[in-house]
Every structure is written in structure tokens, then in C-alpha cells.
Chains A and B, each alone.
Chain A
């Protein structure tokens, strides 16, 4: 088979499109984790975003209402998590798992009336420029606004954490809530805000799936992408730029595997499915050899509850 340059462009564009929900959810979760909160409910918040976006699009007919509504739905469901873990000081892991189970169940319930309805077409930008540049044309142009936002987000997140005062506050709260609290920072408030932001991004990731990537609603349509987003945060060692790379690898493996199948190369599918997780473990093993580095990059109070009075 002849591999021409535009074909490679098409593959890269497919990989990028599949990475979008992972980047969005991971960048949101990264902020949450940087503030010291481990929210395992990403899958649940994503699926809630997916059904909310699809339902609002069907009912109101407005894509803008649907996209922001999905983010709001993510915020609302993460508020439950925030209230439980920050106000009632429940265990982060158990609460996050409960959030996922809750999200999957309630989305199925809401979604009953939306099965079998085709979605609306989501507008793409710069469609006309696609053929102007070989290779890069199909990579750069003809995508939805959410796609461009997702690829800007890691850089914005990185700038936010490193260069802004609020970013530093978030990191301080995640590393040492006691010291931050002594400095007069309202730890509970910061963590609430970070959890809600994580919810909004997961909601947007879900809406991307149900409104843009595969415009339809079916139960469990997130298909475990929330868990991959969580693995990505660890894989990236809490560095937003590495999320971008990781999401391309995680998303790309499936697509490259399908291409290899169509060409006629056979690799055991089970191996490829496991590969992202194997890569994560390898990365973790490699970085954990350097204990100084892991201390620097991991939010030290991740997953620990904070009581103001002790």
C-alpha cells in the first residue's frame, strides 16, 4: 500500500480527535488533584455531561446552551462530591467511586427518552482551508471549537499553575493545607472551587463525546474514558503538557491498531488494549526511582482530608 503524506495527516487528525475528551477531563482532574483532592468520579461526571449535553441539544435545539449546560451538570454533580469530602470530610476514594456509580445510573435513567435520536451537526471551523496545505491541512483545520480549546488547555493550565497567584495558591493548598491555612488561605473554598472546575471539564469532555465525536446517546457511552483520564494524570506526573502527549498516545493506540488491522498486520488486540496501562506503570516505575522528583511533582496531601482545627 502506498502511504502518502495526506494519509498520515488523516491518521494524526483522527488521533487528535480521539484525544480531546481525555485532555479535557485530565486537565480538569489535574487541577482538582493539585489542590489535594482525589476525585475518582471522572467517569461519572463525564457520562452526566454526555447525557446533559445531548438532552439539552435535543430539547432546546441550541448547541451553546447544550455545551454550557453539560459543564454546569458536571459542576452540579461534583458539588455533591465537594460537599461530602470537604464539608462532611468523607473518604475521597470511596466518595469518588460512589460518584461514578451514581453518574452511570442516573445518566441511564435520564437517557431512556433519548435513545435512538440522531444528534445535530456541530459546526467545524476553517473547513475550507483543509486542502490548502498538504499534511498539516487536515490536522489544523476543520475541527470544532471544543477541539481547539482542548489543545490550548494544557498550556493555559500550565501557565495558570506556574505563573499566576491563584495557581500558586492551588498548589500550596495541595502540598500543605496546614501551612496554606496558617497563611490565611481558605483551604475549603479553594478545594471546592477546584473540584467544581474539574466537574465542569469532565462535563465538557462528556458533551464532546455525545455531541461532536459520536453524536448520539447510548448508555455507558463514555466506555471507561474517565478511568483513562485518571490514569493520564498520574502518567503525566501532574504536568499538563505531558497530559497532551499521554492523551495522544492513549488515544492513538486504538486508532493505529485499527489501521494496522486494515492493512493486514496482526498484533494481539488484548495486548494493545492493555498497553496504555502498561505504559503508565512503566512511567511510574521510572519516575519513582527518583524520589526527589516524585516528591516535587506529587501534591503531597493528595487524597487526605483537611480539618481546619487540627
Chain B
């Protein structure tokens, strides 16, 4: 409770500050609303890298960090819309309703909401990345590199995005190594380095020799480095934090999309869109593959990457069964986007239950 009060207090101070420094210019201005601090080196950090790409393309930008997904968000959005911004990117799922509500009041301002599905007004677009494609690659690597056949997975919150990642990762790992077991630990945080490190340590102590993560800090790869096991970077390239442990990273690359959309506003060609881009469109980027991986694995991964990009391979290709053995995707079919967006069941081979 204290923490919450303090956070909201701090964020309102930050907000005040950010709004006073909001740039004054007559050409297109873009604003970004962040859930966390730009210093998280994870989710928000990568969005801010995207914002800097927009700046580099010659546009004015403003950002507000640490905005709670509450009535505060509405207030921030209204203020940004009122202070002459032409396009506003809201970069967290919880901003969905505030974005649509404020969009109605400002029909001339364009709104872009990340990871949501509501587009109630013609000036609202949504966008997200197919991170699960990256996790198909990680699963392939993990299944090949593990010697203990126990793979650890530090998860954040039980939402479709995370479940989809676990499933895609496990399906790919099983494909190359049917004997693997994915052990999942829910940290119930997006970032808390101490907790994430403890979760990773628990998995390593229980025999996992490859650790995957769906939380944001670099603590997990550092723990893996210390313990001499493999790991994968999340959201940004984490190789320099753990040169021996990190085999590759899945990077979120929002820059090209942001530049594209702001340019569209400037040219007057902006229209409502629902974007879900993956490896093919460059929104999900696989970092360099570590030289510790055998050459044939590296070339296999490269090929898989190309096939995912071209659409020749889909992360969820049937037959896929759930934990109870019910058919989820029939042989020869692939999961449609509707199923992916609402995925809340584990596939066969994942151990344990999804916490409620």
C-alpha cells in the first residue's frame, strides 16, 4: 500500500515535470505513455528506444513514465491530447479503456494502443508483436542444448500472452527433444530483480540447465551465468550481462512501426489498423546466436527463423493437444489469431496447473 502511494506520488511528480518540458513545435508531435520507468531495461525501455527512433526521424516526441493503469491514465491522455499532440501511443494493456474513452473526446488526435483489442472509434489503432514466434526459436535451442532434460521457465502473470509463450516454447522444445520437461515458476512480478534471481536459483537447484524467462530484468541471466547454465535474453539483447549463459535474446523492436505510423500522421495517410507483427515484419528480432551452439543447430535456427518470417512454419501447427489430451488444433491446421489471443490452457507436456 505504501509502495503504491509512493509510486503514484512519484509518478505524478514525474508527470508534472514531463508535461512542463513538453516541446512546442508546429509539426507532428507524438506522445508516449509508459507503464514503467524508462530505466527498467525491459518493456518500457524498448518502447523508449522506439520513441528515440521517431525523434531521429525528425519528429518531436514527449513521454510520460510510470503512469498507473487507472483513472490517472485518462487524465494523462487528456492532458497530452490537449497540449497539441497529434498521435499518442499507449504502451500497456491496461490503458485499453482509458485510450478508447479519451479517443472519443478528441477525434482529431490519433491513438495507438499496444497489446489491446478494442478499437471503438475510428481514431484508435492497436498493435502488438508475435513474441511467441521468438519463443519457438528459444524452445528449439533449449531442447537441443539441455543435458539434464529439465528446462526452467520463470513466468510473470497467468495471462494469455504468457501462457502462449510457454506453450510455443514447450512445443518447439518437444519437437527436437521429446524427453524434456518444462518446470514453470510464477514470480508474480514483471520486474523485481531479487525475486527473479531467487526463482531462477530455485529452478537451477532443481536441475534445470536452461532457463527461459518472461519477466523483464537481467537478474535471471546473471544468475544463470553464476551457476553455469544457459539462458535467453528478454525484450532487449542481454548478452553483455551474461556472455557465457545467454545463447540469444528475443528483442522487441517497436521503432520501425512507430516511425511508420508517425509518418502516416504527417502525410495524412493514417487510418485505423490492427497490427500483429512478428519476425517477418521485424517487430520481433532474434539477436546473434552464441558460438557455443553447434554449427548445425545454428543453421537450423537460421532456417527456422526464415521459415517463421515467410510464414512457411507456424508456431502452433497441429496436431496440438491440451494437458487433458483434448485436441486443440487438428493435424495440418494452424491456430488462428482468435485462439492465440485468448489462449489460457497449457498444451500437453507442460507440467502443473495455471495459477488462478
For A205-239 the 0/1 string (1 means CB < 8 A from B) is 00001000111111111011101000000000000
Cross-chain contact B351 with A112 (CB below 8 angstroms):
no
Tell which of A103-111, A146-154, A175-183 binds the partner.
Answer: A103-111
Would A264 and B198 be within 8 Å (CB), given that A7-B205, A259-B206, A273-B188 are in contact?
A: no
Is B305 an interface position by the 8 A CB rule?
no
Which residues from 1 to 35 on chain B have a C-beta closer than 8 Å to any C-beta of chain A? 2-3, 6-7, 9-10, 13
Cross-chain contact A219 with B37 (CB below 8 angstroms):
yes
Which residues from 300 to 356 on chain B have a C-beta closer than 8 Å to any C-beta of chain A? 351-353, 355-356
Is B219 an interface position by the 8 A CB rule?
yes
Give chain B residues whose Cβ lies under 8 Å from the Cβ of A221: 192-194
Give chain B residues whose Cβ lies under 8 Å from the Cβ of A100: 2, 6
Cross-chain contact A262 with B194 (CB below 8 angstroms):
no
Give chain B residues whose Cβ lies under 8 Å from the Cβ of A220: 7, 37
For B264-293 the 0/1 string (1 means CB < 8 A from A) is 000000000000000000000000000000
Would A216 and B219 be within 8 Å (CB), given that A115-B41, A118-B241, A261-B184 are in contact?
A: yes
Cross-chain contact A104 with B6 (CB below 8 angstroms):
yes
**Which chain A residue lies CB-closest to B13?**
A105
Give chain B residues whose Cβ lies under 8 Å from the Cβ of A218: 39-41, 191, 193, 217-218
Question: For the complex, what is the distance from the CA of A217 to the CA of B241, rounded to whole Å?
Answer: 12
Question: For the complex, what is the distance from the CA of A216 to the CA of B197, rounded to whole Å?
Answer: 12
Give chain A residues whose Cβ lies under 8 Å from the Cβ of B194: 18, 209, 213-214, 221, 223, 225
Would A266 and B217 be within 8 Å (CB), given that A108-B37, A116-B45 are in contact?
A: no
Would A14 and B198 be within 8 Å (CB), given that A105-B13, A115-B39, A262-B152 are in contact?
A: yes
For A110-150 the 0/1 string (1 means CB < 8 A from B) is 01100110110000000000000000000000000000000
**Which chain B residue lies CB-closest to A21?**
B194
Give chain B residues whose Cβ lies under 8 Å from the Cβ of A111: 39
Cross-chain contact B351 with A264 (CB below 8 angstroms):
yes
Cross-chain contact B45 with A216 (CB below 8 angstroms):
no
Candidates B10, B39, B191; contact of A112 at CB < 8 Å? B39
Question: For the complex, what is the distance from the CA of A46 to the CA of B206, rounded to whole Å?
Answer: 32
Give chain B residues whose Cβ lies under 8 Å from the Cβ of A185: none
Give chain A residues whose Cβ lies under 8 Å from the Cβ of B45: 115-116
Candidates B39, B185, B217, B222; contact of A262 at CB < 8 Å? B185
**Which chain B residue lies CB-closest to A113?**
B39
Is A94 an interface position by the 8 A CB rule?
no
Give chain A residues whose Cβ lies under 8 Å from the Cβ of B353: 266
Known: A108-B37, A115-B45, A262-B183. 16 other contacts (CB 8 A): A1-B206, A11-B205, A115-B41, A116-B41, A118-B241, A209-B193, A214-B194, A215-B222, A218-B191, A254-B198, A255-B201, A258-B185, A258-B199, A262-B184, A264-B351, A266-B352
Give chain B residues whose Cβ lies under 8 Å from the Cβ of A112: 38-39
The dominant DSSP class at the A interface is helix
**Which chain B residue lies CB-closest to A44?**
B6
Would A262 and B206 be within 8 Å (CB), given that A214-B194, A225-B194, A269-B188 are in contact?
A: yes
Is B195 an interface position by the 8 A CB rule?
yes
Which residues from 96 to 134 on chain B have a C-beta closer than 8 Å to any C-beta of chain A? none
Would A259 and B205 be within 8 Å (CB), given that A112-B39, A227-B2 are in contact?
A: yes
Minimum distance in angstroms from B340 CB to a CB of chain A:
25
**Which chain B residue lies CB-closest to A112?**
B39
Cross-chain contact A261 with B185 (CB below 8 angstroms):
yes
Give chain A residues whose Cβ lies under 8 Å from the Cβ of B3: 224, 227
Cross-chain contact B9 with A216 (CB below 8 angstroms):
no
Most chain B beta-carbon contacts within 10 A, residue among A7, A111, A262: A262
Question: For the complex, what is the distance from the CA of A227 to the CA of B218, rounded to whole Å?
Answer: 24
Is B297 an interface position by the 8 A CB rule?
no
Is A56 an interface position by the 8 A CB rule?
no
Question: For the complex, what is the distance from the CA of A263 to the CA of B205, rounded to whole Å?
Answer: 11
**Which chain A residue lies CB-closest to B9?**
A101
Candidates A1, A18, A119; contact of B198 at CB < 8 Å? A18
Which residues from 119 to 177 on chain B have a C-beta closer than 8 Å to any C-beta of chain A? 152
Most chain B beta-carbon contacts within 10 A, residue among A101, A261, A273: A261
Most chain A beta-carbon contacts within 10 A, residue among B2, B40, B351: B2
Give chain B residues whose Cβ lies under 8 Å from the Cβ of A116: 41, 45, 236
Is A76 an interface position by the 8 A CB rule?
no
Question: For the complex, what is the distance from the CA of A263 to the CA of B242, rounded to whole Å?
Answer: 27
Candidates A108, A225, A266; contact of B355 at CB < 8 Å? A266
**Which chain B residue lies CB-closest to A115?**
B39
Is B202 an interface position by the 8 A CB rule?
yes
**Which chain A residue lies CB-closest to B40?**
A218
Cross-chain contact A255 with B2 (CB below 8 angstroms):
no
Can you list 20 A-B pairs with a CB-CB distance of less than 8 A? A10-B205, A11-B205, A18-B194, A18-B198, A104-B6, A105-B10, A118-B222, A118-B240, A213-B194, A214-B217, A216-B41, A219-B39, A221-B193, A261-B352, A262-B183, A262-B185, A262-B203, A262-B208, A264-B351, A264-B352
For B232-245 the 0/1 string (1 means CB < 8 A from A) is 00001000111000
Give chain A residues whose Cβ lies under 8 Å from the Cβ of B257: none
Minimum distance in angstroms from A125 CB to a CB of chain B:
16
Is A184 an interface position by the 8 A CB rule?
no
Cross-chain contact A14 with B205 (CB below 8 angstroms):
yes
Question: For the complex, what is the distance from the CA of A180 to the CA of B201, rounded to whole Å?
Answer: 50
